Structure 1
Amino acid sequence: MSLNAKRYFFIALGFALLLLFYFLPDLKPAVDPMGKEFPLTQAGKAAIGLFLLAGVWWVFEVIPIGVTSIAIGVFQPLFGIRTAKEAMKDFMDPTVMFILGSLLVGLAFTKAGITKRIAYKMLSVVGEDTRKILLGVFVITAALTHLMAHTAVAATMFPIMMAILALYGEGDKPTKFGKAMFIGMAYTAGAGSIATMMGGARNPAAVGFFKEFTGQDVSFIAFSEHLLPFAWVSVILIWLLLITVLKPEKSRIHGIKEKAVTLYSELGPITKQEITVLILVAGALSVLVLQSFIPALKAIDRSIPLLVAGLLFFMLEILTVQDLEKSIPWNIVLLFSGAMSIGFALWQSGAAEWIAVNFISLLQGAPWVVFVMGISLLVMALTNFIMNVAAISIVLPVALVIAKYLGVNPELVLYASVSMAGMPFILLIGAAPNAIAYESKQFSTGEFFKYGILGSILILVLLLIFMFTYWPLIGMGPLVK
């Protein structure tokens, strides 16, 4: 089958799935353990069909991924899912603006020369071994996500990694080293973000639901005690997986350490522009970090500090209109706009709840290990398709109710769900770092999907091991005593 024929086949397949669900006869409502019914409306059926269309088009890249997002906005009013106003307003959702702000920060880092300075310094420390270079990138990425949003970390790391890739010496062509580095950055950004309450909005949201349904609170320290080890073992496993399935073409980049030292010295002393960028970014990140501790700052949307920094970059002429027009990856911004739109469509139409409740109902009466792994698998799957906060909001309340009847420790359900919500390894729309990594042009959506399946299986196995080893050792058994 020719390339064009394949493209038209997948375009047609996407439309067929949309029409199939749109014209399906009414399906039975989902019923939760409390007897509450969740009907699947006509809009909900169409939303599922549209999601499948978007998934096929995104994975096989039949049209630019940003254009698929435009199709999501267009088809919602055409198929009666939501009005045009509702569908399109998600394209400017604060989360999308947060991503734009993160990209502006990364662009300012690159233009000021900070990224080269960091890249050269790291290479002068880790040396010539390509495996150690990859490990260095992953460790820095994961560590930064403990204190700041993983989207901002990915945007900061991206230009640093592009500088490292340039020193690899293969030009712009895709390489196994490039694939491993950028895919690994996306994965470890997610893995690292589960380690602290500040790693992502899903973490405090999950703790809030847990407190509401159990009456128990979870401290900042307790949260990290349970998930920090899980996060770092995940980072190491991701590194081992990628250096195995994507073994770099070169075991060493000969002379890179000396070259990095030379290039670093050529940069000279830190410039005023670099200092200005660092101060502005540090200020923005400080606000994001302090939001967890200062109630007065919680009312400020997390996109605002980064966008304020972005505005100041333009006011101080660190960035120009040419940078805005030529250097911002609008295809990626549109991708996330569409992801937000389809996520809200699934949520607001009730389709996501219908799917989740039907799935969780299958686990009633199951052994505790099957129940917890089933919940974890559902969260992991959903977080590839919709916002991880939405995935937690849909699954965790129902799971905690069932856990009570099965005698399963609700803490186990909490930590298993949160850990999986940070691991959207399969689809680009699962998390902003995935989309940012894709901008490197080192891998296709199909490759990301393929390696993501392997990564997801590995993380689920790790979860199973933690449930029987580390967590019981620190006093979190699987069943309520």
Structure 2
Amino acid sequence: MAVNSELKRYFFVLLGFAILLLFYFMPPLNPAVDPMGKTFELSQAGKAGLGLFLLAGIWWVFEVIPIGVTSIAIGVLQPVFGIRPAKEAFRDFMDPTVMFILGSLLVGLAFTQCGITKRIAYKMLVIVGEDTRKILLGVFVLTALLTHVMAHTAVAGTMFPILMSILALYGGDLNKPSKFGKALFIGMAFAAGAGSICTLMGGARNPAAVGFYKEFTGQDVSFLQFSAALAPFGWVTVFLIFFLMITIFKPEKIKVPGLRQRAQQELAKLGPISKQEIFVLVVVALALCTLIFQKFIPALKGMDRSVPLLAAGLIFFITKVLTVKDLEKSIPWNIVLLFSGAMSIGFALWQTGAAEWMAVSWLSLIKDAPWLVFLLGISLLVLILTNFIMNVAAISICLPVALVIAKYLGVNPEIVLYSSVAMAGMPFLLLIGAAPNAIAYESKQFSTGEFFVTGIPASLAILAMVAIFSLTFWPIIGIPALVH
């Protein structure tokens, strides 16, 4: 069995290299041409970048080596194959987005160290009771609600230790995967994505998409307009995720007898809220308020969103809420490295022009299709790209081209905007698609392959929802599919 497993591992290692070499040595590919007649050449570096992109995808999905080590391979192979110099490839490993993820993990760790996470977990279990389905639904609803006002990375970092406490009360070995554990953590990651599309504050991709829309159409989209169109989409998805999780990963126990009583007892043991807990809550609240009001306070607009969370982490080390031991043992560096590599390959595809070539080639195939096929084609492209590169980059690549083609087909650009944002917010296939996916993986309750397989029906469901909302809900609220 172990021999077969090793053979399979080496097969996928070699397959990744074979695809990289195939793209590197293949003859030049035809340039992509957009509807305006502009051509996009694919350079040798771009070809090699596509090969590395596919190698990374194969290695990540099949976990042939630790996922963080695959990211190191991304940095190493870029200069080897002439994609980008080593200085550029590795500079992206310290991108502010990676630092934002590190800041979110530090906040979650501080919550755990001072006992807040256990307090929240026990309180939730006292409310929802002993039915495992209600526990799952409660977790998904809470996660989605928090993403309305917080970045979904910060929400996942906060929820992770809470879910570990719930899993401990569920029973069994925390290091041994269970169906309940899989549903709990994969569902949390998916719910974080679904909730994050509901308001402009859920993620950087949302205001970025609205910015592109305004640039191409001259029309602005208000906070309320955005939420009116996408909050129903997000919340329908949250409940779909719940039904998907209890179907695929039917919990081993329908009820956990005595769970509510045990949660009450543990909550009582914690006693009244401590000064340290209040201190941590105040510091985190100030950091989150800075992020939320950044858009409205001119002095804060230029500040990177990683700064408030990293500043909170710094305060926790100064006040000894966290120690160097926590930094060494409790921070999942495998996950931090995973996102470092994801940023590096994303920027490589962007800077070599490979991403733009892919987008224009794909959208040119559907430029004469019926409006619904065109809309689903855009949605599928954004969905695929956002699983591999930053969702802001996926929007930046796809939305401008899509809005140009939409004008020729008479498709309402607003419907293109909302469907693209919905897809960019819900990368359900790969861990690198969104930070909540990778944070959930740290639970050791599921493999990358299990996450990928579970994400297929979830991704197909949200694609179907784009069609349903385009034909029903969006026209009802005054967003018709076609404009004359």
TM interval, shorter chain, is over 0.9
Kindly report which structure 2 residues correspond to 1:439-450, keeping only aligned pairs within 5 A, or say none.
Answer: 439-450=442-453
TM-fit CA distance, 1:223: 0.4
Is residue 273 of structure 1 aligned with residue 276 of structure 2?
yes
Distance 1:133 1:378 in 2: 35
The equivalent of 1:55 in structure 2 is 57
Kindly report which structure 2 residues correspond to 1:158-237, keeping only aligned pairs within 5 A, or say none.
Answer: 158-172=160-174, 173-237=176-240
Distance 2:384 2:306 in 1: 26
CA contact 1:198–1:292 (8 Å) conserved in 2: no
Kindly report which structure 2 residues correspond to 1:146-165, keeping only aligned pairs within 5 A, or say none.
Answer: 146-165=148-167
The equivalent of 1:135 in structure 2 is 137
Per-residue deviation, residues 365-395 of structure 1 (Å, max 9, x unmatched): 1111011111011101110010000000000
Per-residue deviation, residues 50-77 of structure 1 (Å, max 9, x unmatched): 1111111111111111011000000000
TM-fit CA distance, 1:293: 1.9
Letter in 2 for 1:159: P
User: Among residues 386, 391, 397, which one is paired with 2:389 in the alignment?
Assistant: 386
The equivalent of 2:462 in structure 1 is 459
Is residue 261 of structure 1 aligned with residue 226 of structure 2?
no
TM-fit CA distance, 1:171: 1.3
Distance 1:201 1:35 in 2: 31
Letter in 2 for 1:51: F
TM-fit CA distance, 1:294: 1.9
Distance 1:459 1:167 in 2: 33
TM-fit CA distance, 1:296: 2.2
Kindly report which structure 2 residues correspond to 1:225-374, keeping only aligned pairs within 5 A, or say none.
Answer: 225-374=228-377
CA contact 1:138–1:239 (8 Å) conserved in 2: yes
Distance 1:18 1:362 in 2: 25
RMSD, aligned α-carbons: 0.7
Distance 1:101 1:233 in 2: 30
Distance 2:370 2:296 in 1: 39
The equivalent of 1:408 in structure 2 is 411
Distance 1:295 1:471 in 2: 34
TM-fit CA distance, 1:23: 0.4
The equivalent of 2:110 in structure 1 is 108
SS in structure 1 at match of 2:201 = helix
Gaps of 5+ in 2: none
Off by >3 Å, runs of 4+ in structure 1: none
User: Among residues 45, 49, 52, which one is paired with 2:47 in the alignment?
Assistant: 45
TM-fit CA distance, 1:292: 2.3
The equivalent of 2:96 in structure 1 is 94
TM-score (structure 2 length as normaliser): 0.99
TM-fit CA distance, 1:331: 0.4
Q: What is the identity percentage for the equivalent residue pairs of Structure 1 and Structure 2? A: 74
Distance 1:43 1:324 in 2: 38
TM-fit CA distance, 1:304: 0.1
TM-fit CA distance, 1:199: 0.5
SS in structure 2 at match of 1:277 = helix
Is residue 144 of structure 1 aligned with residue 143 of structure 2?
no
The equivalent of 1:396 in structure 2 is 399
Distance 1:293 1:406 in 2: 37
Gaps of 5+ in 1: none
CA contact 1:400–1:410 (8 Å) conserved in 2: yes
Distance 1:391 1:300 in 2: 23
Distance 1:149 1:364 in 2: 34
Distance 1:306 1:275 in 2: 17
Distance 1:312 1:375 in 2: 44
Distance 2:470 2:410 in 1: 16
TM-fit CA distance, 1:170: 1.4
Per-residue deviation, residues 66-94 of structure 1 (Å, max 9, x unmatched): 01100000000000000000000000000
CA contact 1:150–1:190 (8 Å) conserved in 2: yes
Letter in 2 for 1:286: C
Letter in 2 for 1:350: G
The equivalent of 1:18 in structure 2 is 20
Distance 1:312 1:6 in 2: 47
The equivalent of 2:31 in structure 1 is 29
SS in structure 2 at match of 1:2 = helix
Distance 1:240 1:460 in 2: 17
